[in-house]
Structures are given as structure tokens and as C-alpha cells.
Amino acid sequence: MVGGGASPAEEQLVARFSGRLDDRVGRFLGRPHADQWVWDQQLDAILGYSRGGDSASPLQTLLQHVADDEQSLAADAFRAAVEHGDPVMVSCRLHAADGSVRSVLITAVMSDDEPTGVSMSTLLRMDGLTAAAGPWLVGQVVDLTTLRLGATRAAANHAVNEAAKHRAVIEQAKGILMLTYRVEADTAFELLRHHSQNTNTKVHDLAAHLVAQVTALHLDETAPVQVDALLQQPR
């Protein structure tokens, strides 16, 4: 693997959705030393071709679609595979022929044996590949665009929900401080933030602690002292 390869999170994403990726995986097969290649119709679709790509040089066509700032990374990965037998695993963006931008994971391995069980279109002739000399390169392109968008959307929704919960507890804590110290809302928040810094505690965690403990307070003339003690307790 070269720099820029798939992160553990990306590999987990592929593993998690492996059962849903059949229509998002394009496969290619070639004899690198003879520069002879074929690839399936799903890879055509990922590259944005409606009638099929250039089956004479799919690897070069694939690399031409990789985003400019990532092309050298992908090319180096394939070069290392051909020259040293290194496995290819590159996460990158593809600019498809239909104008869309796809987030993909490209993987490939070298093999001295003729591949078996490779899912290729029946329209592609492989007799020329069989006759060519040299090792095989077997690869696939996994289109993660939809999955990443879904994961990003879920993460954003979670962040929004968490922010809403934090905001609610902070407002409650501000109300407690306003009543206890007889100050305005801005001053109450500054008090909360000040104690947050002093105790190395996140503001919303300190606010939640204060809200959780306030029912045990005796709301008399000693309330400010009690609240102050709660705010200074390290989490």
C-alpha cells in the first residue's frame, strides 16, 4: 500500500456494507506487461459511460478520470504493483464522464495464475488476454459515494442532535447561575466558561453536572457557596 491508501475507517465502511456493494463494484483485469485489459459494465457505469468505455486500455482510462491532485498517487500504486508485486489500495475521487464526482476505493493484486471467478461482462472477449504473456493484474473499483454521503449525513444529524442537547443543558445551568448570583445571562455563561477552563472540563459537561446536582442544594443564603463548590469540582 502506498501513502493515501484507505484508512481503517474506510476499510470498515467497505466491510460494513459489503453485502450492499454488488451494484457499486466495477472490476478490471489485465496483463500489464502486454498492456492488454478488459473491464466490466459496472466499471463503465462508475466512470460515467453509458455505452461502455475503451476496453483496449481501461487502466489508462481509469487513471485519467482520477482527480488531478491524486493521479500521481494512483499511478505510483499501480507501478509498485507491477514492478514489486505490492497490493494496490487507493482512496481517491473520480471525475466521471457524466460530470459527477465519485468517491472510490481502488484495489488490485498481481497474480501469476489465471484468475478464476472474476465477474466480467460476457460481451468482453478475454481470449487475447489469455494468449498474452506475463502475470495478471486483477482489480476492482468500489464506488463509496452514496455510502459516504449517508455516513456524512448521519454524522451531521448526530452532531446537530448533540449540539441541541448541549445547548439545552447549558441554558438550564445558566438559569441556575442567574438565580443564584443574580446576574444576567451573558455573565452567567462567562462564569460557566471560566470554571470550565479552570477545571479543564467541557462547558456542557460542567453544565450537566451542575443541573444534575442542583436538586440536592439548599436554596437559602448559602446557595452561592454551594454552587461555587459544585463549579470548582474537577470532573
CATH code at position 93: 3.30.450.20
221 vs 134: CA distance, rounded Å: 88
Q: Which residues contact 222 (CB under 8 A, 6 or more apart)?
A: none
pLDDT score, position 1 = 38
pTM for the structure as a whole: 0.57
Number of domains, the chain? 2
Residue 111 belongs to a domain: yes
pLDDT, position 57: 58
* Per-10-residue mean pLDDT, the chain, length 235: 51 52 77 84 85 60 91 93 91 91 91 70 58 83 78 66 80 86 87 86 86 71 72 64
105 touches 14 (CB < 8 A): yes
Final residue belonging to a domain, choices 127, 143, 159: 143
Within a domain: 1 = no
In a domain, 68, yes or no: yes
Q: Compute the distance between CA of residue 222 and CA of residue 92 in angstroms, rounded to an integer.
A: 62
